[in-house]
Amino acid sequence: MFLADYIKSVYNGVTSLLKGMRMTGYYFVHPKEIITQQYPEVKQVLPERFRGEVVMTHNENNEHRCTGCTACELACPNATIKVVTRFDITPDGKKKKALETFVYHLELCTLCNLCIAACPTDAIRMAQTFEHSVYDRKLLTKRLDKPGSKLMEGVE
Protein backbone atom coordinates (compact mmCIF):
# COMPACT_ATOMS: atom_id res chain seq x y z
CA MET A 1 0.00 0.00 0.00
CA PHE A 2 2.78 2.35 0.99
CA LEU A 3 4.74 1.37 -2.10
CA ALA A 4 1.76 2.05 -4.39
CA ASP A 5 1.36 5.55 -2.91
CA TYR A 6 5.04 6.18 -3.31
CA ILE A 7 5.10 5.12 -6.95
CA LYS A 8 1.96 7.19 -7.62
CA SER A 9 3.47 10.34 -6.10
CA VAL A 10 6.66 9.86 -8.11
CA TYR A 11 4.58 9.43 -11.27
CA ASN A 12 2.54 12.58 -10.48
CA GLY A 13 5.67 14.56 -9.76
CA VAL A 14 7.34 13.54 -13.01
CA THR A 15 4.24 14.23 -15.15
CA SER A 16 3.66 17.72 -13.73
CA LEU A 17 7.36 18.44 -14.13
CA LEU A 18 7.18 17.38 -17.77
CA LYS A 19 4.13 19.61 -18.32
CA GLY A 20 6.15 22.57 -17.11
CA MET A 21 9.17 21.56 -19.16
CA ARG A 22 6.97 21.38 -22.25
CA MET A 23 6.21 25.08 -21.76
CA THR A 24 9.91 25.85 -21.45
CA GLY A 25 10.60 23.84 -24.58
CA TYR A 26 7.89 25.70 -26.47
CA TYR A 27 9.57 29.04 -25.81
CA PHE A 28 12.95 27.55 -26.62
CA VAL A 29 11.85 26.70 -30.18
CA HIS A 30 9.77 29.90 -30.62
CA PRO A 31 12.34 32.70 -30.33
CA LYS A 32 9.88 35.19 -31.88
CA GLU A 33 7.92 35.27 -28.62
CA ILE A 34 10.91 36.62 -26.71
CA ILE A 35 10.28 40.26 -25.87
CA THR A 36 13.68 41.31 -24.49
CA GLN A 37 14.80 44.75 -25.69
CA GLN A 38 18.48 45.32 -26.37
CA TYR A 39 18.46 48.59 -24.46
CA PRO A 40 21.62 50.61 -25.08
CA GLU A 41 21.79 49.60 -28.75
CA VAL A 42 18.07 49.80 -29.52
CA LYS A 43 16.24 52.66 -27.85
CA GLN A 44 12.49 52.53 -27.45
CA VAL A 45 10.41 55.47 -28.63
CA LEU A 46 8.75 56.80 -25.51
CA PRO A 47 5.14 58.03 -25.53
CA GLU A 48 4.61 61.78 -25.71
CA ARG A 49 3.15 61.95 -22.19
CA PHE A 50 6.18 60.27 -20.64
CA ARG A 51 7.51 62.31 -17.71
CA GLY A 52 11.26 62.62 -17.99
CA GLU A 53 12.10 66.11 -16.79
CA VAL A 54 10.55 69.58 -16.81
CA VAL A 55 11.61 71.81 -19.72
CA MET A 56 10.51 75.26 -20.87
CA THR A 57 9.30 75.62 -24.44
CA HIS A 58 11.01 78.25 -26.60
CA ASN A 59 10.11 79.22 -30.15
CA GLU A 60 12.59 79.97 -32.97
CA ASN A 61 12.90 83.64 -31.91
CA ASN A 62 14.13 82.55 -28.45
CA GLU A 63 10.86 83.54 -26.80
CA HIS A 64 9.22 81.67 -23.94
CA ARG A 65 5.69 81.80 -22.51
CA CYS A 66 6.52 82.17 -18.79
CA THR A 67 5.07 85.28 -17.13
CA GLY A 68 6.67 84.59 -13.74
CA CYS A 69 3.39 84.04 -11.91
CA THR A 70 4.99 81.33 -9.64
CA ALA A 71 1.94 79.05 -9.87
CA CYS A 72 4.27 76.10 -10.53
CA GLU A 73 6.43 76.98 -7.55
CA LEU A 74 3.38 76.96 -5.28
CA ALA A 75 2.05 73.72 -6.77
CA CYS A 76 5.31 71.82 -6.31
CA PRO A 77 5.34 69.54 -3.24
CA ASN A 78 9.17 69.31 -2.98
CA ALA A 79 10.37 72.87 -3.63
CA THR A 80 11.85 71.68 -6.93
CA ILE A 81 11.15 74.94 -8.76
CA LYS A 82 12.42 78.37 -7.86
CA VAL A 83 11.13 81.25 -10.01
CA VAL A 84 13.11 84.49 -9.68
CA THR A 85 11.17 87.49 -10.96
CA ARG A 86 11.93 91.16 -11.61
CA PHE A 87 9.72 94.19 -12.19
CA ASP A 88 9.86 95.81 -15.64
CA ILE A 89 8.60 99.36 -16.20
CA THR A 90 6.16 99.36 -19.13
CA PRO A 91 6.06 102.40 -21.53
CA ASP A 92 2.95 103.76 -19.75
CA GLY A 93 4.83 103.86 -16.46
CA LYS A 94 3.33 100.74 -14.77
CA LYS A 95 5.29 98.01 -13.03
CA LYS A 96 5.04 94.57 -14.64
CA LYS A 97 6.28 91.24 -13.26
CA ALA A 98 8.67 89.39 -15.56
CA LEU A 99 10.77 86.23 -15.38
CA GLU A 100 14.42 86.67 -14.40
CA THR A 101 15.54 83.03 -14.01
CA PHE A 102 13.69 79.73 -13.76
CA VAL A 103 15.69 77.32 -11.57
CA TYR A 104 14.77 73.64 -11.64
CA HIS A 105 16.22 71.03 -9.26
CA LEU A 106 16.00 67.70 -11.05
CA GLU A 107 17.49 65.93 -8.03
CA LEU A 108 14.45 66.87 -5.93
CA CYS A 109 11.82 66.29 -8.60
CA THR A 110 9.44 63.32 -8.30
CA LEU A 111 7.87 63.94 -11.73
CA CYS A 112 4.34 64.27 -10.33
CA ASN A 113 3.20 66.62 -13.14
CA LEU A 114 1.52 69.07 -10.70
CA CYS A 115 3.54 72.08 -11.94
CA ILE A 116 2.53 71.47 -15.54
CA ALA A 117 -1.12 71.08 -14.55
CA ALA A 118 -0.90 74.36 -12.61
CA CYS A 119 0.74 76.46 -15.36
CA PRO A 120 -1.83 78.90 -16.82
CA THR A 121 0.17 79.73 -19.97
CA ASP A 122 1.59 76.29 -20.97
CA ALA A 123 5.12 77.60 -20.53
CA ILE A 124 6.59 74.34 -19.22
CA ARG A 125 6.17 70.75 -20.35
CA MET A 126 7.61 67.29 -19.70
CA ALA A 127 10.46 66.08 -21.91
CA GLN A 128 10.93 62.43 -22.84
CA THR A 129 14.57 62.20 -21.69
CA PHE A 130 15.35 59.67 -18.98
CA GLU A 131 19.12 59.18 -18.88
CA HIS A 132 19.85 61.68 -16.12
CA SER A 133 22.99 60.17 -14.55
CA VAL A 134 25.79 62.67 -13.98
CA TYR A 135 29.00 62.57 -11.96
CA ASP A 136 28.40 65.86 -10.17
CA ARG A 137 25.16 66.50 -8.32
CA LYS A 138 25.35 70.22 -9.05
CA LEU A 139 24.77 69.49 -12.75
CA LEU A 140 21.23 68.44 -11.89
CA THR A 141 20.29 71.98 -10.89
CA LYS A 142 19.25 73.52 -14.18
CA ARG A 143 18.21 76.91 -15.52
CA LEU A 144 15.26 76.30 -17.79
CA ASP A 145 14.96 79.68 -19.59
CA LYS A 146 17.56 80.13 -22.31
CA PRO A 147 19.96 83.08 -21.91
CA GLY A 148 18.66 86.23 -23.55
CA SER A 149 15.17 84.86 -24.04
CA LYS A 150 12.15 87.08 -23.53
CA LEU A 151 8.39 86.77 -23.13
CA MET A 152 6.38 85.90 -26.21
CA GLU A 153 4.07 88.61 -27.54
CA GLY A 154 0.49 88.35 -26.37
CA VAL A 155 1.04 85.98 -23.42
CA GLU A 156 -0.52 87.45 -20.28
User: Near other proteins by CB under 8 A, which window of 18-26, 58-66, 90-98, 141-149?
Assistant: 18-26
Check binding of 114 to other proteins (CB under 8 A). yes
Look at residue 13 and give its three-state secondary structure: helix
Measured CA to CA, the distance from residue 83 to residue 77 in angstroms comes to: 15
Check binding of 55 to other proteins (CB under 8 A). no
Nearer to other proteins, 13 or 84 (CB): 13
Minimum Å gap between C-beta 33 and other proteins is 9
Check binding of 129 to other proteins (CB under 8 A). no
Check binding of 23 to other proteins (CB under 8 A). yes
Residues contacting residue 7 through CB under 8 Å, at least 6 positions apart: none
Check binding of 108 to other proteins (CB under 8 A). no
Can you tell me which of 1, 2, 4, 19 binds other proteins, judged by CB under 8 A?
19
- Applying CB under 8 A, the residues found at the interface with other proteins are 9, 12-13, 15-17, 19-20, 23-24, 35, 46-47, 49-51, 75-77, 110-114, 117, 126
